[in-house]
Amino acid sequence: MDSTISSSASLSIPKFRCFDPTYAYSPTAANHRRSFSNFSPTFKSSSRVNMVDSENSERKIVNGDAGYVLEDVPHLSDYIPDLPVYFESDEVYACIVTCGGLCPGLNTVIREIVCGLHYMYGVNNVLGIEGGYRGFYARNTIPLTPKVVNDIHKRGGTILGTSRGGHNTSKIVDSIQDRGINQVYIIGGDGTQKGASVIFEEIRRRGLKVAVAGIPKTIDNDIPVIDKSFGFDTAVEEAQRAINAAHVESESFDNCIGVVKLMGRYSGFIAMYATLASRDVDCCLIPESPFYLEGPGGLFEFIEKRLNEQGHMVIVIAEGAGQDLLNECMRTMEQQDASGNKLLLDVGLWISQKIKEHFAKRPKMPINLKYIDPTYMIRAIPSNASDNVYCTLLAHSAIHGAMAGYTGFTVGPVNGRHAYIPFHRVTERQNKVVITDRMWARLLSSTNQPSFLDLKDISRSKIEEVSETPLLSAENHAQELATK
């Protein structure tokens, strides 16, 4: 396998030196011991492809003339010289921690990390850290074996418990060092991955032989770079139950409006995909798409039109939608939770009350309104078949990377290919619905709702889209050039 990047790389798709999980395990290997010293990456610099130094001196980045950017993940050999063997099975002492909110699939990831380490690499020492980041220094640990985790994928939640906040870098790394832990698997969302990045930097500063691997978790699907996060498919599937209930209720009464609030603090992916999957939704409101209530083209006018046409309607609203209207109406101060997330007002109750107040002024058009909030029901269920398979792939990918000596990375599929991604790439921004993209246009076509946008909103969205567009891979760039 080629361990270099050719200096003649241009528009052709470059060959990457990669770690192939297919060859990670051989049942004939004695004691499941591994030496991965041959997998340390090297780059050739030339006039056409140069390493970026200066402020990115610690990042292994290659810029190509075709516009692509290649970036390798950190490796233990980057700061521990003369490392002959990265990890032998009998020396591995791993730990797993879950942080942040609940998400379908957490227990599946825990199970597959434990079983993967045990059956593929012969690792027998795995600890579960209770209660999130603060569990490193304030809670007990749980020994994890294949027998302990055998059936946990059938349950919702996390057997390790979780929490927000509690991140004390010094105490966490002290605990890792004192316990002799040398592999840390951190499962959590964007805030958790930021914490994992800080832990990795402190471990590197101390020169410890400890691999830190992240498994991105968010029900909102708002982690960038990766194609999707685990638990998202399950959340969309479960949201259908609430939407179907709202549809049944609305059809059973005259002028009935079913309002369903779904998760989506900053990103409306669950609401958008659940709406597209349902086909029973008349209006979908998400954080990325501004809307207004009164006046021509407003939400109230659309509700009246739809009730006159069919006598009922279903509205799906993400929890982060319309927060500017709530703050303006209620004049509230912004507050944050322990993870630094903005505490949101209940937009579902607010918009339900606003709709009732509007139609109370129109006695000739009395309405019924049914409000359904399945938020915590959706995230507390076990993962479905699709997410179970996905969680297994993520867990095994993290294991292979850590055993090979890589560190400071998170795992996930990028354009359909599972990849190791440096922490800073998944924490520098949030993934959001692009309302000028095709998927949102498909939703508007499905619901036949107005966009609630004016020209200023569209221009602003396009500017944000350009500024947040991730760096092109060589393949994507070549495809773009070919279509021009």
Q: Is 164 flagged in the annotation as binding?
A: yes
- Residue 382 one-letter amino acid: P
Q: Is 165 flagged in the annotation as binding?
A: yes
User: How does pLDDT run across 368-394, given as a tens digit for each residue?
Assistant: 999 999 988 999 999 999 999 999 999
Q: Using CA atoms in the order 456, 463, 422, 229, what is the torsion angle rounded to 10 degrees?
A: 40
**Is 67 buried (19+), middle (13-18) or exposed (0-12) by CB count in 10 A?**
middle
- 23-27, 81-85, 109-113, 377-381: the lowest-pLDDT one: 23-27
DSSP at 6 = -
Compute CA distances 460 → 124, 149, 439, 465, whole Å: 54, 49, 18, 9
User: How does pLDDT run across 137-196, given as a tens digit for each residue?
Assistant: 988 899 999 999 999 999 999 999 999 888 899 999 999 999 999 999 999 998 899 999
At 19 the pLDDT is: 40
**Section 329-340 average pLDDT:** 55
User: What pairs with residue 309 in β-bridges?
Assistant: none
Q: Is the pLDDT of residue 337 over 70?
A: no
- Residue 236 one-letter amino acid: V
Give the helix ranges, DSSP H, for 410-473: 423-427, 438-447, 455-468
- 48-57, 344-353, 405-414, 428-437: the lowest-pLDDT one: 48-57
Q: How many CB atoms lie within 10 A of CB 28?
A: 4
At 330 the pLDDT is: 58
At 474 the pLDDT is: 41
At 43 the pLDDT is: 32
Residue 197's pLDDT band, with cuts at 50, 70 and 90, is very high
Query: Which of 428 and 105 is assigned the larger pLDDT?
Result: 105
Share of the chain above pLDDT 90, in %: 60
Nearest-angstrom CA–CA distance, 105 and 102: 9
Closest CA to 404 of 2, 31, 32, 38: 38
Sheet with 409-414: list strands edge to edge.
141-143, 126-129, 94-98, 183-188, 211-216, 409-414, 417-422
| CB proximity list for 185: less than 8 A, separation 6 or greater | 94, 95, 96, 97, 113, 213, 214, 215, 398, 402
Residue whose token pair is 């060959």: 15
Q: Is 332 flagged in the annotation as binding?
A: no
At 68 the pLDDT is: 73
The b-or-e profile of 377-411 (16+ CB within 10 A means b, else e) is ebbebbbbeebbebbbbbbbbbbbbbbbbbbbbbb
At 307 the pLDDT is: 95
Residue 220 annotated among the catalytic residues of the structure: yes
Residue tagged active-site, from 72, 78, 220, 233: 220
Residue 34's pLDDT band, with cuts at 50, 70 and 90, is very low
Q: Is 437 flagged in the annotation as binding?
A: no
**Section 237-251 average pLDDT:** 95
- Its sign, for the CA torsion 117, 118, 124, 130, is positive
Q: Is 251 flagged in the annotation as binding?
A: no
- Residue 166 one-letter amino acid: G
Nearest-angstrom CA–CA distance, 397 and 414: 13
Residue 258, Ramachandran bin (φ over 0: left; ψ between -120 and 50: alpha; else beta): beta
Q: What backbone torsions phi and psi does residue 328 show, to the nearest 5 degrees?
A: -65, -40
**Section 215-229 average pLDDT:** 91
Q: Is 264 flagged in the annotation as binding?
A: yes
**Section 391-400 average pLDDT:** 96
Q: Is the pLDDT of residue 202 over 90?
A: yes
At 138 the pLDDT is: 87
Q: Is 319 flagged in the annotation as binding?
A: yes
Nearest-angstrom CA–CA distance, 272 and 275: 5
Q: Is 265 flagged in the annotation as binding?
A: yes
Written as six digits, the tokens of 362 are: 């129109």
Most confident of 383-387, 448-452, 453-457: 383-387
Nearest-angstrom CA–CA distance, 155 and 451: 40
Q: Is the pLDDT of residue 358 over 70?
A: yes
| Opening angle at CA 310, ends 305 and 315, nearest 5 | 70
